[in-house]
Amino acid sequence: MAKERVIACGMQWHEEADKKTLGESLANAITRQLLTSIETTDSASLVVSGGSTPVPVFAHLSSADIPWSKVRVTLADERWVALGHADSNESLVRDTLLVDKAGAAAFVSLFRPDVDPEQAVASVAADLREMHTPFTAVILGMGGDGHTASLFPDAPDAELLAAMSLDNSHGVAILHPPSVSQARISLTRAALLQSVHRYLHITGEEKSRVLAAALEEADNGSWQLGMKPVVGLLTESPANVSVFWSP
């Protein structure tokens, strides 16, 4: 049975016994969010993350009874690799989410072929401005280092500070963290905070400990350089945040 409680700053904690059940519960929450937006505004937007963790969510969402033609989907971040590459988040989303009923949704790509990532910022930002905002729902993940999207704590300070600034109006940022092998394009903190609801989807005891330590470090304050980047997406408007976790 699901366990729900309020945690730090007023965020909601939703716990399930296993990853499969967690994926279904999160998909159901996202479905309700998208349907509410479509009923009230005739459109909706969904920001998703890559990696293996959200695949069970995508499997449920892909067959959900949603007017998907009224939904635009994009990624929270992308590795600067071409569609079809094993590390492409877009390929993962196209293969696991944008199938079945969800195949009718429009997808807004963060990648541009044959250019450096810095050259693509203006084009990507323009496409994102065509999406329904604030974003209806944002699904975030978290790494063991406390990164979310491609907001890595070891990115060069100037890049990370720009990407995490609440005054950043570009909506996207390019980062080159030394801990990863490819350049990254990521929605900025300011862009991701422009959302009706943010869902942090994590599994495993270790990530639960990382999150708890990060929130304790922040102590309900604003994000600062040296804190885990995920904190900056949770402690702002925490009533609009739900953490979905399973062992």
Domain ranges in the chain? Answer: 7-246
The enclosing H or E element of 91 equals helix 89-96
What is the CA angle 153-177-179, rounded to 5? 90
Percent of the chain with pLDDT over 70: 99
| pLDDT for 56 beyond 90 | yes
Q: Could you give the CA distance from residue 222 to residue 235 in angstroms, rounded to a whole number?
A: 7
Q: What is the pLDDT of residue 169?
A: 74
Residue 104 pLDDT class (50, 70, 90 cuts):
very high
Q: Could you give the CA distance from residue 192 to residue 167 in angstroms, rounded to a whole number?
A: 13
Q: Of how many residues is the chain composed?
A: 247
The amino acid at residue 57 is V
Q: Could you give the CA distance from residue 74 to residue 185 in angstroms, rounded to a whole number?
A: 12
Residue 218 pLDDT class (50, 70, 90 cuts):
confident
In angstroms, the Cα distances linking 223 to 164, 189, 214 are 8, 10, 10
Structure-token pair, residue 89: 């988040």
- Can you say whether residue 17 is alpha, beta or left, with left for phi > 0 and alpha for psi between -120 and 50 degrees? alpha
Of 134, 121, 130, the C-alpha closest to 72 is 130
Instruction: Output the pTM of the full model.
Output: 0.97
Fold of 7-246: Rossmann fold (3.40.50)
DSSP 3-state of 100: helix
| pLDDT for 58 beyond 70 | yes
Structure-token pair, residue 62: 């892909």
The amino acid at residue 146 is G
- Strand intervals (E) in 80-211: 106-108, 137-140, 172-175, 184-187, 198-203
The amino acid at residue 118 is E
Q: What is the pLDDT of residue 220?
A: 62
- Determine contact, residues 71/100, Cβ cutoff 8 Å: no
Q: Could you give the CA distance from residue 189 to residue 202 in angstroms, rounded to a whole number?
A: 19
Residue 11 pLDDT class (50, 70, 90 cuts):
very high
Q: Helix, strand, coil shares of the chain as percentages rounded to 5?
A: 40, 20, 40
Owner of token pair 């967690």: 22
DSSP string, 184-195: EEEE-HHHHHSB
